[in-house]
Structure 1
């Protein structure tokens, strides 16, 4: 009888544990964001896309040089828009309301700087 009671309790714990484990709410669906940048040319495009590809959670990044908008598909459980903008800023480019990081900007070739070589404003 004790053995049956033990097995019933154990089975109940396993079922209950499975129910709680399955009820965890996670947002694993990829999201997409469009961020306006200060990119100028195809070298900017390559640099931004490459650096974003190293950001944890980024699945795809594609910069349209004509509109200066980078479209990023990412896993929201691993990164967020603020981190993506920070990545672009550290690369040396403006990311909407986040200005380019001065150190990153100074490393850019002069053709990739605002105004084609003028000082960062």
Structure 2
């Protein structure tokens, strides 16, 4: 009998705690709502090394909260503080490390410095995550 009381008490505690955590998440979300925006940009690249280089260049911009480049689609999704970072700034940062986008062509010098496996304009096919090439 005592075990059942303890078990039900523990379940009740966990149930209440889960609502408290959810409420805290909603409050945190409400505080940041309207303070960030999502910017999307098509960026050329072919592998995990490209992904790391692209994401690192964008993370270095002040005001960037989150960045993710999808190798398959080439879409770069960046969450930034509202009115702190523009799509053009993101495109320029990516171009400076050798990757072209819809808004800025890669700097020739930066493109020439890319490893051979990352030279997307030279006919290199997408590789890395799926074929076991796997460098990052």
Structure 2 length-normalised TM: 0.62
Query: Offset at 1:91?
Result: 1.3
Query: Offset at 1:97?
Result: 3.3
Query: Offset at 1:75?
Result: 1.3
Q: Partner residue of 1:61?
A: 67
Query: Offset at 1:51?
Result: 1.3
* Distance of 1:80 and 1:86 partners within structure 2: 10
Query: Offset at 1:95?
Result: 1.2
Query: Offset at 1:58?
Result: 0.8
* Correspondent of 2:104 among 90, 98, 105: 98
Q: Partner residue of 1:35?
A: 41
CA RMSD across the alignment:
1.6
Q: Which structure has the larger Rg over C-alpha atoms?
A: 1
| Structure 1: runs of 5+ lacking an equivalent | 1-27
4+ residue runs over 2 A deviation: none
* Distance of 1:94 and 1:76 partners within structure 2: 24
Q: How many residue pairs were aligned?
A: 90
* Distance of 2:80 and 2:86 partners within structure 1: 8
| Structure 2: runs of 5+ lacking an equivalent | 1-33, 126-136
Structure with greater contact order relative to length (CA < 8 Å, sep ≥ 6): 2
Alignment pair present for 1:81 and 2:87: yes
Q: Partner residue of 2:124?
A: 116
Alignment pair present for 1:44 and 2:50: yes
